[in-house]
Structure 1
């Protein structure tokens, strides 16, 4: 569909209204597009006012109209201005076709970027272009950071639905998003300031652009620069996110303080008659066990965990938890510098050389609560016993003596004076963990285009882009240094109580970690396009484009020794990644008008094909192709449809990523009491290392984030998608200014590249609940004899966890209907006494999602995660069935008043095996509506002032209240509570977390 936010005519008596005052509306693309609109649609390289022959996104054929067989939504620059957006994500993520990717609110997880996820099937399955060409990506996943695009210079953004690999090559499975930068004639300068009602989160930017024509109009150029600064907001600054809420996933009532790792230290001992002693299980599992007669000793007798309220003195643990939330960013700070430019020059006979250059320096910080040290440690009582009081030391000495008796009887090795304990200690003495990403990215492009004959033209260009990121991490703990401080091989450390780590101990165990990314993209592309012949039925000439392209991508991740060795606790450790590949392609397109009459009858066919030869052995040569049609039986009605076969080659990370630990949300079936009703699952749990007495105990997996190692797979094949679109465009002549489009889409992706089984949570489910065969590939990560996936008591920990590789095994399918309506009409009244009639412009863009299905493994087609209208541990980001954005604008001479309405339909918790409502949480998030109000004024012909307020009614997640025992007394229906969330007790990429937010901006042109 060709959905465009068009500018309304803003004419004042004797004045030219600046672009900033134009109001975004929708209109059906047609042949009567204005010259200025045509220039914006064409992007860099368009001759303003020269011709209506344009190239639309989704095709390389120059044509005389803007009709397209594929749905295309176009966001004009006015939407950025009227919404107070400085970063592209602020507008793009409000579109119904988009599910938020990484955003300004992505602190944990997050990486300091802003990404786009078209149709919710992954940020790596849609292609981001600038001026119709590939843009620079930022890391080994080959995804574009929207922060590197100069939003203030964007003329429009085209969003094409459906596979577009036949036109643009790999990655365009969900579609294409094309940012078109405009030329400037003269000087433009301006800036914006935003701040929340609560006085935090200040953001400001200043920019300038200089452009001119030269040499009697043969050339033109624009150069620009921008500085942007965004202040951070902490979770502790909002009542709804000040307390980390959790508990339901472990069967406890919803409660504040969601972490099991305390600043005063937690010790756990899994010894005793239940047979869970770590020495017995790991030293000699085949020897009959001799256990102590007491099921625990001293404070461990009634509870296998103790805490230290007073340094050196422990007591039995009783639900003690820690509130990690306030120290985490809610909105991460950012500082950005952008410079760049584009130019073109006619060297004669219509041959034009052109160039583009851009450079971005982007610095983004993240901050988390102090490091939680968790894992099995050997505690030398002679070395650290002096930090314990007599009773506590006697308890541990009794445990050591009992271990000696048992190990001697079993013939196992024994280490007198050393006790193996499971320690949890939040090292608040080191301060918060913080990390700074600094990315430097540049892109340079040069090309030439011109005529070959009267009807054929050529376009040839080369581009090189490179991004380098430096990441510095503070607040990490060295696992080896921490262990050395406990086992007597280094100066003793004291983790037994609050504030017991002295400055010298902190220095001893702290470690500064660093890593870097370097990625590069080279493209050499050429195309010949033109027209020839026709069918003689009144239609235009047949259009054709034939071309070839060469691309080379390379990327590497370079961790320091601490990260690559896995010695880091705090931020995730990972090994080095490096790889590259290239692809050679040939492609062709056809646009075949069949018939066109004066009465409005029109029929047209389109087709495209691309053959790609990859240097990757398991991909090799692949085809992508497409075919479509448009049919207009009468002027008021147009039908359109298209089929596309698209492909996506695996990226560098998917192929070559070194092992890296991650902490995804997951449910361990062996820790679910329901497992006890399935004998096969119980046997599988025991076989994988869970003591029989611990199967079904939530205590073996207290955290909702379960650690695992993930790595690339060099044997991956390409993904393949089939997408269908069909729609109707209505432009009733009896209602001038009214347009409506309805478009159905269906995208199926096969051979999907994902973590084996579709992720840790899905793999656990497939292995223990579905397949129940330890020889299955989906169970092998949990039964690798060379890599124990569980520790002595059956927990999956940072020290013992599975390794999951990437695989081609999943299926994706999305289906839905897009609705667009726009209407513009004069109104018979004027507030500002405009000589021209004032106008009222209305638009509506909505999506109804029928399917958003993910099948983790195609071998088990019945295991489908149905995510339309759902959210949660499996489906992740909320995907409402209904989502829309609409705007009503009153344009009166030099003034524009505009109201935007954003709607997110209700969503239900996905079927992850937990009924959160039984424990005080939420199973449903009710529908949410946000309203934004903005004003724009032409102070003079060259000076424009805009202002507005987003989230006008201050809609925020509700604030819970608590009982004396820490459980939640009242959980307002607007709040995503507990473990069923991404961060900050909600999904901050989807739902507003700042509250009422004001902005004011100014722009001057001369």
Structure 2
């Protein structure tokens, strides 16, 4: 066989174990012979004079790849073998990751792909590209992974635990660093095509990258472009998602929505049956009918035939909305960009980066359901109704009139009409009806997001003096999103049309195009997110302790960042007149931070008995935020590595990290609301309970008014809802401890076991889940004036009368630093390479194996960090608290055979069983069983320039286990379990 294939096998062998060991390599001064470190491209002489490198999680240059924090690396080969074009397809298979938004996120959706390490939240995972911050997409300041060019990836590093001391805010759960290929010379072109076993969901990709070195050899420039298109798959295309399933006793049955295309009409029970003057029992005089046709049923009249009512059958008449919803959302993406560097002089190398991404993703839901209470003019709607139904409505009108008359005679206020609070303008000939109807005539609801994101960066680097190097750069990133919503209904226009009889809602298919045009509204909103970073750093060495260790490494620097974002809804959305998609309040804000940081690496001892290597490290950063509530913060880290001999390394680290609140949390649009609530201070019991009484007085209630009904004159209490500019920073403490074993008696075997423990405090969450919940927690549960819950009412009561929400004194029931998260577990990593003295294409071949697994022992969410009560989400899922399944066991493993130009590889993805998180409810499906998926891939180097890859993901067509009321969407959790089924891909790459 040619030497070319031997080289190909050697290279493939070094990268095929693509999710690598926590410390991918030691210094190459180890006594045992070493191959290239698995999952890296470091030269074999690294550590003995090789080129200095920077490991993710540190800014110090070094000549090995050791890491105190657990570090996993995904090589570019993994993307090829898995057929992944969007980076989240691979990253979400890592056991450290709980999927965020994905290509299957339709409701909830948003048209983005996000990354959520350890399940702590996408906003608490820092995403870098080439070690620097990337572009965010909205007011939450989260990176959309769709903007990262997958075809240029060299590797992806995943670092567990807080890393704010090295990188600044947001790195509470860890850092993910996407490394792009550098110094490309020549042309790389390629493409991929994927399609499911059912012939749908096609995906197309084509890319081109051109790199060239300058004629003097002092620089390089690379330009690239990509096009990607993903076709939609609807839920109706799969058996498990074709029907909206719900819990029906002890079985799952087709359910759906009671808001149907044929329409459903009901009336208040008092209007049908009648009540006595004080509203407590049947009306004795005048005698009224106790039921009127189908309107007396619990779900009212169902218009199975236009204008003719029948009894609503539960759930037989429910509308199956599932087929109209996306299972895989469509996407179209254009990416262009370039980067380069040039050595201006021996001391100055300039570098630039530029990227532009146009990304369009749509979400689609079934047609808009509209419901409400309407005051219908009987004469106007008579032409739409059968004689029997019109007569029934006339009788109901007479009932309302009689009830009002009877109450007036008893000196009581009417139940119907403007004097009853304006809830229905009851006059003879006008009747109050509850009407719900799905406006199928407008078509599905569709929200198209088109995001234009660009990022530019320019900087200089080079030797500063002696063994010191410098780097300084400035970057600017901006994303603008335009969302256009179709299928919405104008609530005000619909109400006028129904009440005046301008449209016929009593049956399916009764609306004309003119009717549709009159009630439809095209809504749109925009988002803008910006990030500016100016950073400068020095790194170098200070000498050594003389005990065999390397020189002390040091890095110092300063950074300035400014983030800004705004959400701009149109008038219809901000007014709340739109029915279909959620309304939104305008949001706008920005803040900046100035930082200084330092990092030190101290190799103490090397090549001594029981001290093959002993090393300490530390880092610290001081951040000064323009946010008054955050101000100045410190983050810091310290760790150690001890290798008693070459085969074994122990390591541990502690890190304190922070996350400043994002623009949405701080400056989210605020608006007044009037929810129903009970003020505990207005209850008579408050006057006799010393603790409650004192707390009421502390929060602003005059002592003489505690326990009096006059303290709450209405059942609704006014509050202010939205962002909170007084939020403080979140903090996290991370402890990691592990062992790395590379036995010299089993060459090429690497084993790592790492324990992690992460605690996030001051976690930002909605205060009390609402105004009533906040009142209860303040006065009945926590009972501490210094708590965020009580402080909201201390500033939200009128000091003159103690009333909440009176005379401009409004409690802010928005975001607050009230919750806490704790998670702990163990990461397991194994990789092994075994040479074979046989092969089909060469005299020898190689087997590569890797295993990357996580056991999550606990994940505790404290809704109130001041209390001991928490929800356990490790091994659980559900809509109550936990959301996406978080199995205790999760792993990904791959076995590959590299035989000359041919690579044959099998991947095994495993998710452990999980159970529902709502112990108060018995669901039909309380437990999701363990889930295993197997993938097969083949790669073949036809020539040194041309390579082909092909594969089948989910070769056994494993389907998700279906669930009912405790699902996210599509009767499952689509971001976690495979919803496409067996899926094929073929790709080609050409280099010349």
TM-score, length-normalised on structure 2?
0.86
CA contact (8 A) 1:659 1:709 kept: yes
CA contact (8 A) 1:354 1:446 kept: yes
How far 1:132 moved relative to its partner? 0.2
Q: Which of 524, 534, 542 is 2:544 aligned to?
A: 534
Q: Secondary structure at the match of 2:53?
A: coil
How far 1:293 moved relative to its partner? 5.6
**2:308 is matched with which residue?**
313
TM-score, length-normalised on structure 1?
0.85
After superposition, residues 143-154 of structure 1 pair within 5 angstroms as 143-154=142-153
* Rg larger in structure: 2
Q: Secondary structure at the match of 2:948?
A: strand
Write the deviation string for residues 391-443 of structure 1: whole angstroms up to 9, x where unpaired: 21222222222222333423332531333322211111111111111100000
Report the Cα distance in structure 2 between the residues aligned to 1:570 and 1:768, rounded to whole angstroms: 38
Report the Cα distance in structure 2 between the residues aligned to 1:160 and 1:1004, rounded to whole angstroms: 32
How far 1:762 moved relative to its partner? 8.6
Report the Cα distance in structure 2 between the residues aligned to 1:73 and 1:759, rounded to whole angstroms: 41
After superposition, residues 361-440 of structure 1 pair within 5 angstroms as 361-408=358-405, 409=407, 410-412=412-414, 413=419, 415-416=426-427, 417-440=429-452
Q: Secondary structure at the match of 2:270?
A: coil
Q: Which of 255, 267, 270 is 2:268 aligned to?
A: 270
Report the Cα distance in structure 2 between the residues aligned to 1:117 and 1:276, rounded to whole angstroms: 56
CA contact (8 A) 1:234 1:329 kept: yes
| 1:32 is the counterpart of 2:48 | no
Report the Cα distance in structure 1 between the residues aligned to 2:284 and 2:637, rounded to whole angstroms: 68
How far 1:454 moved relative to its partner? 1.7
State the aligned residue count: 906
Write the deviation string for residues 308-367 of structure 1: whole angstroms up to 9, x where unpaired: 111112223231311000000000010000111111111111421101110100011111
Q: Which of 986, 991, 994 is 2:980 aligned to?
A: 994
**1:931 is matched with which residue?**
934
Write the deviation string for residues 576-632 of structure 1: whole angstroms up to 9, x where unpaired: 111111111111111111111165621111111111111111111111111111111
Q: Which of 865, 880, 884 is 1:877 aligned to?
A: 884
Report the Cα distance in structure 1 between the residues aligned to 2:37 and 2:3, rounded to whole angstroms: 14
CA contact (8 A) 1:258 1:323 kept: yes
| 1:482 is the counterpart of 2:478 | no
After superposition, residues 819-858 of structure 1 pair within 5 angstroms as 819-832=828-841, 834-835=842-843, 837-858=844-865
| 1:328 is the counterpart of 2:333 | no
| 1:516 is the counterpart of 2:526 | yes
**2:912 is matched with which residue?**
905
Q: 1:803 to 1:302 in 2, by over 3 A?
A: farther
CA contact (8 A) 2:28 2:48 kept: no
Write the deviation string for residues 547-588 of structure 1: whole angstroms up to 9, x where unpaired: 111000010011111101000000111111111111111111
Q: 1:897 to 1:634 in 2, by over 3 A?
A: same
After superposition, residues 974-985 of structure 1 pair within 5 angstroms as 974-975=961-962, 977-985=963-971
**2:764 is matched with which residue?**
753
Q: 1:897 to 1:72 in 2, by over 3 A?
A: same
CA contact (8 A) 2:221 2:340 kept: yes
Write the deviation string for residues 699-749 of structure 1: whole angstroms up to 9, x where unpaired: xxxxxxxxx996211121110111100000000010001010000001000
| 1:101 is the counterpart of 2:110 | no
Q: 1:252 to 1:724 in 2, by over 3 A?
A: same
Report the Cα distance in structure 2 between the residues aligned to 1:743 and 1:826, rounded to whole angstroms: 28
Q: 1:821 to 1:252 in 2, by over 3 A?
A: closer
**1:12 is matched with which residue?**
5
Q: 1:907 to 1:340 in 2, by over 3 A?
A: same
CA contact (8 A) 1:18 1:942 kept: no
Q: Which of 535, 538, 552 is 1:525 aligned to?
A: 535
Report the Cα distance in structure 2 between the residues aligned to 1:14 and 1:987, rounded to whole angstroms: 43
| 1:201 is the counterpart of 2:201 | yes
**1:218 is matched with which residue?**
218
| 1:298 is the counterpart of 2:293 | yes
Unaligned 5+ segments in structure 1 are: 1-8, 663-686, 692-707, 787-801, 958-973
Write the deviation string for residues 17-72 of structure 1: whole angstroms up to 9, x where unpaired: 887995234353222399998997799xxx99994311111111111221111111
Q: 1:14 to 1:524 in 2, by over 3 A?
A: closer
Report the Cα distance in structure 1 between the residues aligned to 2:517 and 2:105, rounded to whole angstroms: 30
After superposition, residues 621-700 of structure 1 pair within 5 angstroms as 621-658=632-669
Report the Cα distance in structure 2 between the residues aligned to 1:49 and 1:580, rounded to whole angstroms: 48
Q: 1:39 to 1:221 in 2, by over 3 A?
A: farther
Bigger mean CA offset, 260-269 vs 467-476: 260-269
Q: Secondary structure at the match of 1:272?
A: helix
Report the Cα distance in structure 2 between the residues aligned to 1:415 and 1:781, rounded to whole angstroms: 40
**1:174 is matched with which residue?**
173
| 1:458 is the counterpart of 2:470 | yes
CA contact (8 A) 2:288 2:399 kept: no
CA contact (8 A) 1:750 1:812 kept: yes
| 1:867 is the counterpart of 2:869 | no
**1:890 is matched with which residue?**
897
| 1:135 is the counterpart of 2:134 | yes
CA contact (8 A) 1:639 1:728 kept: yes
Q: Which of 604, 612, 621 is 2:623 aligned to?
A: 612
Report the Cα distance in structure 2 between the residues aligned to 1:291 and 1:423, rounded to whole angstroms: 28
Q: 1:397 to 1:469 in 2, by over 3 A?
A: same
**2:239 is matched with which residue?**
239
Write the deviation string for residues 752-776 of structure 1: whole angstroms up to 9, x where unpaired: 0012236899979979997899xx9
Q: 1:15 to 1:556 in 2, by over 3 A?
A: closer
CA contact (8 A) 1:538 1:596 kept: yes
RMSD: 3.6
CA contact (8 A) 2:476 2:533 kept: yes
How far 1:387 moved relative to its partner? 1.3
